[in-house]
Amino acid sequence: MAMLRVGAGYEVVIPKSARESIGLKVGDLMEASVQQDAIVLRPKTKSKKRLEIQRRLAAAEADVQAGRVLGPFPSATAALYAVRRRADARHPD
């Protein structure tokens, strides 16, 4: 069991071995509860919707990095025109 110190503002640093064992990352949410004479911290699970949004954003970022993008465009009208042309080329009727 690792020891930790309560710092200014009641901050604590979670030991690396504990963070890694549960896969805790910077920005993750934690839930604190009191059980008998202990404070228990648990990772707050993200909703399926939030996980899907994060997955889609990661995929979009990968597309940008790989150059699979349209634009830039001088106007919103030009952007819509390009998107419609691309959709028509993929699904000719």
Per-residue pLDDT tens digits for 11-61 = 999 999 888 888 888 888 889 999 999 999 988 876 777 778 888 999 999
pLDDT beyond 90 at 62: yes
Q: CB neighbours (10 Å) of residue 11? A: 9
Whether 33 and 52 map to the same domain: the answer is no
Our count of domains for the chain comes to 2
| Assigned domain for 33 exists | yes
Check residue 47 and report its DSSP letter: P
Whether 55 and 38 map to the same domain: the answer is no
Q: Which pLDDT does position 58 carry in this prediction?
A: 92
Residue 23, domain extent:
8-43
| Assigned domain for 12 exists | yes
Whether 85 and 58 map to the same domain: the answer is yes
CA distance 75 to 45: 40
Q: CB neighbours (10 Å) of residue 14? A: 14
pLDDT beyond 90 at 74: yes
Name the pTM for this structure.
0.45
| Assigned domain for 1 exists | no
| Assigned domain for 65 exists | yes
